[in-house]
Amino acid sequence: MKDNNAASNALISVQSLKKSFGDKDVLTDISVDVNKGDVVCVIGPSGSGKSTFLRCLNRLEEPTGGHIFFEGVDICDPKVDIDMHRRKMGMVFQQFNLFPHMTIMKNLTVAPIKLLSLSQEEAESYARELLSKVGLLDRAGDYPMQLSGGQQQRIAIVRALCMKPDVMLFDEPTSALDPEMVGEVLSVMKDLAHEKMTMVVVTHEMGFAREVANRIMFMDEGRFIEEAAPEEFFVSPKNERTRLFLSKVL
């Protein structure tokens, strides 16, 4: 959490963010910076506002108040071209949302060709490079339904990376997977973190959070009530509600 003054050098600077749906206040007053290279894990009870927070970061949800500076630009300003900024923020959801009628290669290259003006060869060559990193180069010609859930989610991560984002936002990327497929997706995310990708990850995977994050933020009832480095967070949480939550999930 941070002081609430002007733009900072953070990659993402959230200032007094509020979000309500009708008369229901979901995010009450959030101010937080995400710095380049941060791996922030957001944890907290169901319904506390984690997804809403994440989706506000690239304005998939419209904030009802406050400001979000991304790379120094207030993306809540109605005058900004949000699509242009959103391209730099990769997003991966619980459901992979691959295009079912397109091959994996087509899934990976359609946006970069259209939006980054890459040639087909350039886009395919970059896609192959990333596919080989996640061990799925041989599946380039397949259709999504020919892949397992874990493989599809690795493709969804690659698809986001093909846009060369400056930050990756993950909303419970392993929650819809069979348990035996969780590890392969977390391992791709771990590699990304080691490559210094800036990441904001909503997750229930406490082991991952503890091992990979440099910051844990605990959300309860629409605000972050505790933030700490993983060791401190898991070993000596300060807030009573954090302790209660951890006692249930650990």
Ligand X SMILES: Nc1ncnc2c1ncn2[C@@H]1O[C@H](COP(=O)(O)OP(=O)(O)OP(=O)(O)O)[C@@H](O)[C@H]1O
Interacting partner of 107 out of ligand X, Mg ion, none (Cβ under 5 to 8 A depending on kind) = none
Place of tokens 């749906």: 21
- Which one, 112 or 173, has the nearer CB to ligand X? 173
Structure tokens at 109: 């290259």
- Which one, 34 or 131, has the nearer CB to ligand X? 34
DSSP letter assigned to residue 137:
G
CB of 112 to ligand X, least distance (A): 29
Interacting partner of 26 out of ligand X, Mg ion, none (Cβ under 5 to 8 A depending on kind) = ligand X
- Which one, 3 or 23, has the nearer CB to ligand X? 23
Stretch binding ligand X (CB under 6 A), from 18-26, 73-81, 123-131, 207-215:
18-26
Interacting partner of 56 out of ligand X, Mg ion, none (Cβ under 5 to 8 A depending on kind) = none
Residues of span 40-99 touching Mg ion by CB under 5 A: 51
**DSSP assignment of 145-197:** GGS-HHHHHHHHHHHHHTT--SEEEEESTTTTS-HHHHHHHHHHHHHHHHTT-
Q: What is the C-alpha separation between 45 and 28, in angstroms, rounded?
A: 16
Q: Does 174 contact Mg ion by CB under 5 A? A: no
- Which one, 51 or 58, has the nearer CB to Mg ion? 51
Q: What is the C-alpha separation between 81 and 182, in angstroms, rounded?
A: 36
Residues of span 36-95 touching ligand X by CB under 6 A: 46-52
Q: What is the C-alpha separation between 22 and 12, in angstroms, rounded?
A: 27
Per CB under 6 A, the list member of 1, 2, 21, 135 interacting with ligand X is 21
CB of 109 to Mg ion, least distance (A): 30
Residues 6+ apart with CB under 8 A from 167: 11, 12, 34, 88, 89, 90, 197, 198, 199, 200
Element housing 64 (H / E): none
- Number of residues counted as binding ligand X (CB under 6 A): 10
Binding site residues, Mg ion, CB under 5 A: 51
Q: Which residues bind ligand X (CB under 6 A)?
A: 21, 24, 26, 46-52
